[in-house]
Amino acid sequence: MNYKKYVPHIFTGLKDRTWPGNTLSKAPIWCSVDLRDGNQALPVPMSVEKKLTFWNTLVDMGYKDIEIGFPSASETEFSFARKLIDESLIPDGVRIQVLTQSREHLIRKTFEAVAGAKQAIIHLYNSTSVQQREVVFKMTKQEIIDIAVTGAKLIVELEKEYPQTEFFYEYSPESFHATEIDYALEICEAVIEVFQPTPQKKMIINLPTTVEVATPNVFADQVEWFCKNLKDRESIVISVHPHNDRGCAIATSELAMLAGADRVEGTLFGNGERTGNADILAIAMNLYSQGIDPGVKINNIDEIADIYKECTLMDINQRHPYVGELVFTAFSGSHQDAINKGLKAYEAQSDEIWEVPYLPIDPQDIGRSYEPIIRINSQSGKGGVAYVLETFKGYKLPKAMHPEFARFVQKKTDETGKELSPDEIYNLFHAVYLSANDRYRLGKYSISSGKSGEVDIKADITLKGKQYTMKAHGNGPISAFFHGIKALGYNDFSIEEYSEHALSLGADAEAIAYVQVSDGKGNKHFGTGVDSNIDSASMKAILSSLSFFDA
C-alpha cells in the first residue's frame, strides 16, 4: 500500500486554543440543507411533490433556516421555490435559503426564484482552496477574491429591485478546510465589506469542510483562529457545513461549536454527497442526551425516518445513531441483564434522572418503546430471556429459574440459527413447562381442614404414566400434596423454592406458580402451573418439576 503518496493536513496557526476547555450548553442555529445538498446527491432527485412533503416535515420539526435548493440549477429547483412562495407555504419565522455560485446569470435567476418571499437568505459561494485555484480554475488568489466580491456587489444591487423581501446574506469559501487560513479570512472580509452587516442584522459566514481532510480537532483550531481574527465578529454568524469523508462530521460539528461556531448546516441522517453531511438530527439528540434543549422536535423519530425514506428512496442503517432499528436493542446477555436492572432502578427512583446502562437516552422520548430493547439469539443470556417473558407475557420467573429456562432457549437458537421472537419464547416456555403431560397430571382432588388448621388432601394424580389416588396430611394444601407425592416413591425429594403471582386483574384471573424441587442428590428442577385456583396451579407446578427427573 503506497501510503507515502498522502501527506497529513496540519494546521499549526493556533497556539493558545481555548475550545478544549469549553462545554456545550445550548443548541446552535440549525440549517437543514436536505432539500439542496441532500437532494442533489440522490440517484433520483426528489420531485416537487416529494420536496414539499420533506419541507413540511422540516417545518413541523421546528427548523427555522431551510436551504430549499439551487434554483438556478434546474427547473425543478426553481419551480419548488416558486411553489412555496406563490402558495404561501412558508410560515412566519422560517427563512428559506437558496444557493448560488458567484456568477451573474445564476445570481439573477436566484433572485427571480425567491421574489415575493417574506425572508430569504442568499447563499453565495465560490471555491477558494489551493487545489481549486491551481487545478480547476487556474486563477490567482486575487482573481478568486474578485469573483466573490463581484457576486456580492451584484446581490446588493439586485436586492433593491425586490423591496417586498427581507434579504439576509451568507458567504461560503468552498473547501475552507483545505484553504490557507489567512487567505480564507481575507476573502471573507472582502465579502463582508460589500455586505456591510451590523449586530442588528448579521450576515452568515459559512465555513465548510467540503471534503473532510483532517481530524475534528484541526477544524476546531481553524474555526477558533478564524473567530479570533475576524473583524466585526459581533456582526457575523459563524456557520459550519461539515462533510463526512472521514466519518467525523458529527464530531467536527460539535468541536466547531466549542470553538465558536454559532450555526450548523447539515441533513437528517447525514444524507449528502459522497459519505454525506453532518447528521443534524444525531447532533440534536446528542445535545438532548446531555440535558440540553435540542431546539427541534425529535419525539417521533420513526415517523421522520419513514418520510425520509419515502422521499429520498434511501435507507437508514440498522446501526445508525438513535434511529437505526437495532440501536436500542441488546442481544448480549450481559447487556440485557444490565438494561433490565437499570430499567427497574429507574422506575423505583424519585428524581427521574435517566441512568440506564447501554441506553444513552430513554427510547420513549423519541417515540420508541421498550418492547424491542431485548432480543434473543444464541448470544443472549438468562436475564434477557426472563425480561422478555415478563415484559411481553407477565411471567415473573424466580431468579433461580432464569438459567434453567435459558438453557432451553440456547438450545433452540443454536438449532435454528435464528433470533427468537417473544411469541416463540413464550411458546417454548409453554412447551417445556406448561403443556399437558399425560405422564404427570393432576385429576380431581378435595381438601378438608381440621380444627388445628392443618389440612387433609385426597387427589387423583398420574405419575410416570401410572394413576394413583393419594391421601395425605399437612399444614397446608401444598405441604399435604407434597407429602403424598413423597410417599409414592419420592421420599428424598424436597421443595427448595416456591413463588406465585396473578397473571391478570380480577376475581377470575389466572395465577402462575413456580416450584423448584430437589431430588436430594444435588439435582434441582423447576416446574410451573397455571390455573384460576392457586392451589391447583401449585400442585400442577410440582408435577411439572417431577417430569424433568424422569425424562
118 and 198 part of one domain: yes
- Residue 259 scores a pLDDT above 90: yes
Domain that holds residue 461: 441-549
260 and 280 part of one domain: yes
447 and 426 part of one domain: no
- Residue 508 scores a pLDDT above 90: no
Distances (CA, A) of 442 to 77, 471, 497, 513, 540: 76, 14, 20, 14, 6
- Residue 138 scores a pLDDT above 70: yes
Q: Which of 409, 433, 457 is the last residue of a domain?
A: 433
| 148 within some domain | yes
C-alpha cell at 130: 489551493
Distances (CA, A) of 539 to 251, 468, 501: 61, 15, 15
Among residues 97, 111, 84, 90, which one has the least CA distance to residue 33? 97
pLDDT above 70 covers a percentage of the chain that reads 99
| 326 within some domain | no
| 198 within some domain | yes
Distances (CA, A) of 522 to 397, 460, 518: 21, 29, 7
Query: How many Å apart are CA 128 and CA 183, to the nearest integer?
Result: 8
- Residue 250 scores a pLDDT above 90: yes
Point out which residues pair with 455 in neighbouring strands: 449, 474
SS (H, E, C) 230-271: CCCHHHEEEEEEEECCCCCHHHHHHHHHHCCCCEEEEEHHHC
Q: List the single range of 143-157, 160-174, 268-282, 437-451 with lowest mean pLDDT.
A: 437-451
Could you report the per-residue pLDDT of 18-36, keeping only the tens digit for each? Answer: 999 999 999 999 999 999 9
HSE of 203, CA atoms in CB hemisphere, 13 A: 23
- Residue 258 scores a pLDDT above 70: yes
135 and 219 part of one domain: yes
385 and 475 part of one domain: no
- Residue 507 scores a pLDDT above 70: no
pLDDT at 112: 97
| 3 within some domain | no
Mean per-residue pLDDT, 423-446? 91
Q: How confident is the model at residue 165 (pLDDT cuts 50, 70, 90)?
A: very high
pLDDT at 254: 98
Mean per-residue pLDDT, 321-342? 90
The values of phi and psi at residue 182, to 5°, are -70, -35
- Residue 218 scores a pLDDT above 80: yes
Could you report the per-residue pLDDT of 511-534, keeping only the tens digit for each? Answer: 999 999 999 999 999 999 999 999
| 112 within some domain | yes
538 and 393 part of one domain: no
Q: How confident is the model at residue 136 (pLDDT cuts 50, 70, 90)?
A: confident
Q: How confident is the model at residue 352 (pLDDT cuts 50, 70, 90)?
A: confident
pTM score of the predicted model: 0.85
pLDDT at 551: 62
Q: Which of 433, 463, 490 is the last residue of a domain?
A: 433
| 107 within some domain | yes
369 and 396 part of one domain: yes
pLDDT at 333: 84
Mean per-residue pLDDT, 281-285? 97
C-alpha cell at 491: 421420599
Q: For residue 30, what are the contacts with CB-CB under 8 A and spacing of at least 6?
A: 63, 64, 65, 263, 264, 280, 284, 295, 296
In three-state secondary structure terms, 374 is strand
447 and 425 part of one domain: no
259 and 162 part of one domain: yes
- Residue 371 scores a pLDDT above 80: no
> If you count them, how many residues does the chain have?
551
pLDDT at 493: 95
Q: Which of 376, 401, 433 is the last residue of a domain?
A: 433
pLDDT at 135: 86
Mean per-residue pLDDT, 205-229? 96
Query: How many Å apart are CA 97 and CA 170, to the nearest integer?
Result: 9
Residue 33: give its domain's CATH number.
3.20.20.70
Among residues 125, 241, 257, 131, which one has the least CA distance to residue 191? 125
| 470 within some domain | yes
Q: Kindly give the residue spans of alpha helices, DSSP state H, lying in 354-421.
A: 382-388, 402-416
Q: How confident is the model at residue 404 (pLDDT cuts 50, 70, 90)?
A: very high
Average pLDDT along the chain = 94
pLDDT at 497: 95
Q: How confident is the model at residue 438 (pLDDT cuts 50, 70, 90)?
A: confident
| 457 within some domain | yes
Mean per-residue pLDDT, 262-276? 97
239 and 380 part of one domain: no
- Residue 381 scores a pLDDT above 90: no
pLDDT at 110: 98
Q: How confident is the model at residue 383 (pLDDT cuts 50, 70, 90)?
A: confident
Could you report the per-residue pLDDT of 474-490, keeping only the tens digit for each? Answer: 999 999 999 999 999 89
345 and 475 part of one domain: no
Pairing state between β 466-474 and 455-463 = antiparallel
288 and 255 part of one domain: yes
Helix%, strand%, coil% for the chain, nearest 5: 45, 20, 35
Q: How many domains does the chain have?
A: 3
